[in-house]
Amino acid sequence: MSITPQFQKLVDLYRLLQRPPIEHTKFCAQVNYNDEHGRLLSGLWGENCCNLTITVNGTDYSTDMEEEIPDLVVGQSIGIEVSAPRTERCFFYADTNDWLNSASPLPKGNLPNNTYLCKEDTVVADDANLPEIVLVRTVCSLIRLLGEIAHYRDGSPDSNESYRLVYVIPDKDNKIYHPVTLQTQFTSDLLKYAAPDISVLESILNERNQARSIHASERVSIFQIALAEFIEHIPNNEPAFLYLIEHWNDVIESFNKSWDRYLSGFTFDKLKAELADQQAAASQKLSDIVSSLSGRLFSLPIAISGIGILEKADSDVANWFYLLSNLLVSYMVYSAVGIQKDNLANAQSSYQMSLSKFKRDKGIDQRDNEIIQILQNVIKTLDATFSRLSCRLKFFAWIAWLPLIASLTYMLIKANDSFWLDLIQVVKKIYPC
């Protein structure tokens, strides 16, 4: 909104005349003329901002008659009458109530230029901090924002009629759409309420207009639905627009809840997919650990089966070579199992850190019950898998020594008496009685 220099002079003149009462857009006063009167009167004379009449010694000089301004002397008593009709050049209102009840641009969200509130002695401008003006300015901004998200606006922005804002939303079955209308209006009853917080709606539209978010259109749609659903439930005996202003925070709360539900639904499948990827990655590591042992574990029964060959050969030298080779096989398999046990511990630590970081980074808390349950199931399943594999690795570590044990047992069984006597003599030499 803007203030023209002519209008500012008219306000200054009204104040200089001690703010006389206004009747039917007219005010008048009897004053002793001074230079300030002369400056303002000459600045307004013939500017079409208002109609001026100056009475000097019973003679009237008027701008209506396109007369020249009379010559005046400082200290001379004159009468001044000003008619300030409400046009785009000038809006004089008795007070805020008169302004709200009479200003036709307000229901369209437009603040008229050159507006003055007499009782409050305030020019309505962008920097005016009177609470009533701040309220009206905010509501006008809200009307413009509501018009931006409306599917249809019944009424031209340049006309003096109020808006009928139409929002088209789906029914509960999402198959049939129906319109919801909101009639904007301004009355002095608006002053009963606090200025609504329109920052959320401003943010939504800024995101859409500047394409700063991939969900900008969805946020607008969800706000449209939250707003329309609220309008539908306004009691019939209540002025819809004023009721909306009074309960604006309820609309914001409904939108926030709907948006949270939308985000939960949008990210739920993505979170499940990420959890599945984490589970698959951990399972792949476990599979690699087992598969890398398979070849070495197959060597155990082959090494044990060599006993049959020894039985046919019946050679002490072959027996000793067989014993040494089984010792080497058992040691290699045991070492491989030990390495895989370390890999298993590293894999378990890695997956635990990944899931812990996943939960923390995704902001999952106790309100996300379904995600929490899925996460717990994944952890439970992987923990059980790690536990089973750990037990198997311990078992593999034990059976790794079976070839050595089998070869030793075979040699002890096949040894003759001289072998035992020689073994006893060796032991006696080492540990004499």
**% of residues, the chain, pLDDT over 90:** 14
Q: What residues have CB less than 8 Å from 173, skipping those under 6 apart?
A: none
- For residues 324 and 245, what is the distance between their CA atoms, to the nearest angstrom? 92
- For residues 160 and 338, what is the distance between their CA atoms, to the nearest angstrom? 86
Banded model confidence at residue 230, pLDDT cuts 50, 70, 90: very high
Q: Once rounded to an integer, what is the mean pLDDT over residues 70-79?
A: 89
How do beta strands 164-170 and 26-32 pair?
unpaired
Kind plus residue range of the DSSP H or E element containing 179: strand 177-183
For 253-282, write each residue's pLDDT tens digit: 988 888 877 776 655 556 666 666 666 676
Q: Between the CA atoms of 145, 149, 150 and 153, what dihedral angle is there, to the nearest 10 degrees? A: 50
Whether pLDDT at 87 is above 50: yes
Whether pLDDT at 367 is above 50: no
Q: What's the distance, Cα to Cα, between the start and end of the chain in Å? A: 118
Q: What residues have CB less than 8 Å from 276, skipping those under 6 apart?
A: none
Phi and psi of 291, rounded to 5°?
A: -65, -35
For 189-219, write each residue's pLDDT tens digit: 888 888 899 999 998 888 888 766 667 888 8
The confidence score (pLDDT) of residue 358 equals: 58
The confidence score (pLDDT) of residue 313 equals: 53
Whether pLDDT at 366 is above 50: no
Residue 384 CA, chain-centre distance (Å), reads: 38
Whether pLDDT at 249 is above 90: yes
The confidence score (pLDDT) of residue 246 equals: 92
- For residues 140 and 192, what is the distance between their CA atoms, to the nearest angstrom? 16
For 117-129, write each residue's pLDDT tens digit: 988 888 888 677 8
359 beta partners: none
For 370-423, write each residue's pLDDT tens digit: 667 777 777 777 778 778 888 877 887 787 787 777 777 777 766 555 555 555
Q: Between the CA atoms of 201, 204, 210 and 212, what dihedral angle is there, to the nearest 10 degrees? A: 150
pTM: 0.60
Summary mean pLDDT of the chain: 78
